[in-house]
A and B are shown apart, each in its own frame.
Chain A
């Protein structure tokens, strides 16, 4: 960490933490003042108690959901990159297949998820498949842009030196696409977590194992609203963790492309 790294980190973290504290206080005051029924909106203290009481099942569910989301995200990065490579090779291929890629983005995943579970089966692979479908499009779209948005002069420079198609791809297009790919990954990682949770609405891992998606459905059906809020809190933290890790990795890799000034 650089000399002014800690103050900078505090300056980044303290304002949102302060706002969160204020939000908790207002939430508590509102619930108490308006005497809202706990099954409609529990206060922050019952939610904290629910987290404490159900900490182990929540942690285990979050671990399983994270595994599914990680699988979907990894598959999105790999398949998204390969599809973008294919698109970048020919305008005809891109024009022919791009509408189907958009389909992945626009189809209501809640409607599609039961079908996917039906075809792939319950368990981790079904969850990974739903997570993948929801998160692959940003990787395809961004990486395709990066692979094709190459400066015309550079294309000329490569042509002038009789570069092969493979050299153009490896030495020009792929490095040019890295910042775009990472931007796509940053959008995709949050979607992968949402996809895994939606997948778990319909697919379980077995009698003993369940992810956050299943817990959300279960606690909602049993009107355990404080426990439901605890699930939402864990889901949010999971999404934030994914976003933070991918964001840090992106920033680190982009140092080579953009220098220290990029955030």
Chain B
């Protein structure tokens, strides 16, 4: 689904953000990317999304087209919910479909489905300011899922939430992924979050970002809260932490 070969990104002024990245991500996989601040995790995600161009190497993102010939657009969940304050929850959720000029009836149906997926169907008429932090993030996830993406890119989406909300949303995102099986690239600072969510963790070095470890997470799904206290879980988390040093 996503293949990077010797991928480089140098910013204007000569600042090297990424250097010689090589990885392959299979369709339907859940892969976490961890690394220290400024190591280029977000830059990598933006390159995969097509928002930035690599300055060297090659990146291939295989996209399928729908019946109308439209190529699937990757969906992006940002660190902040970045909802439009003047739009209600349903209006925020419908935004990507409006931009893609889908028929109104289809938009209405897909928005209702997406809000139901994230448990916000009874809050569609509220403005973002009337929601809690966790609900805002769910609305942001609904906005990403409404396009039925093949590829979901998440850039530290739960970093600003309290630990309880974060763990709840971790479990919800896994449940959504198991039902829909989009390919997911999940950037996080939290080693425990990466291990709990993903099948595989890519560990990046400080700038310029390189992949210093590619660690499999062998736990079966569904994963429950108890996994976080299992010994094997701690061992993998320790291995990732050691790679980060």
Chain A interfacial positions (CB closer than 8 Å to B): 151, 153-154, 156-163, 167, 171-172, 175, 178, 256-259
Residue of A with least CB distance to B71: A162
Further contacts, 20 of them, CB under 8 A, given A256-B86, A256-B127: A151-B80, A153-B82, A154-B84, A156-B49, A157-B76, A157-B82, A160-B50, A160-B75, A161-B73, A161-B100, A162-B73, A162-B99, A162-B100, A163-B99, A175-B86, A257-B85, A257-B86, A258-B85, A258-B129, A259-B127
Which residues of A are found within 8 Å of B51, using beta-carbon distances?
A: 156, 159-160
Residue of A with least CB distance to B82: A153
**Binary interface profile of B, 75-92, with partner A (CB < 8 Å = 1, else 0)?**
110101010111000000
B226 to chain A, nearest CB (A): 35
- A171-B95 contact given A160-B76, A161-B100, CB 8 Å threshold: yes
**Contact indicator B95/A157 (Cβ below 8 Å):** yes
Which residues of A are found within 8 Å of B46, using beta-carbon distances?
A: 156
- A160-B73 contact given A171-B98, A171-B99, A259-B130, CB 8 Å threshold: yes
Residue of B with least CB distance to A156: B51
**Residue B129 contacts which of A156, A160, A175, A259 (CB distance < 8 angstroms)?**
A259
A259 to chain B, nearest CB (A): 5
Chain B interfacial positions (CB closer than 8 Å to A): 46, 49-51, 73-76, 78, 80, 82, 84-86, 95-96, 98-100, 127, 129-130, 147
- For the A-B complex, the count of residue pairs with Cβ-Cβ distances under 8 Å equals 54
Which residues of A are found within 8 Å of B49, using beta-carbon distances?
A: 156, 160
**Contact indicator A158/B99 (Cβ below 8 Å):** yes
Q: How far is the CA of A171 from the CA of B49 in the complex (A)?
A: 22
Which residues of A are found within 8 Å of B98, using beta-carbon distances?
A: 171
**Contact indicator A160/B74 (Cβ below 8 Å):** yes
Which residues of A are found within 8 Å of B99, using beta-carbon distances?
A: 158, 161-163, 167, 171
Residue of A with least CB distance to B85: A257
- A153-B80 contact given A160-B51, A163-B99, A259-B130, CB 8 Å threshold: yes
**Contact indicator A157/B96 (Cβ below 8 Å):** yes
**Contact indicator A178/B76 (Cβ below 8 Å):** no
Give the top 6 A-B pairs by smallest Cβ distance, nearest first: A161-B99, A153-B78, A153-B82, A163-B99, A161-B96, A175-B86
Residue of B with least CB distance to A259: B129
Which residues of B are found within 8 Å of A154, using beta-carbon distances?
A: 82, 84
A160, A175, A257 interface centre (most CB from chain B within 10 Å)? A160
Which residues of B are found within 8 Å of A175, using beta-carbon distances?
A: 84, 86
Which residues of A are found within 8 Å of B76, using beta-carbon distances?
A: 156-157, 160
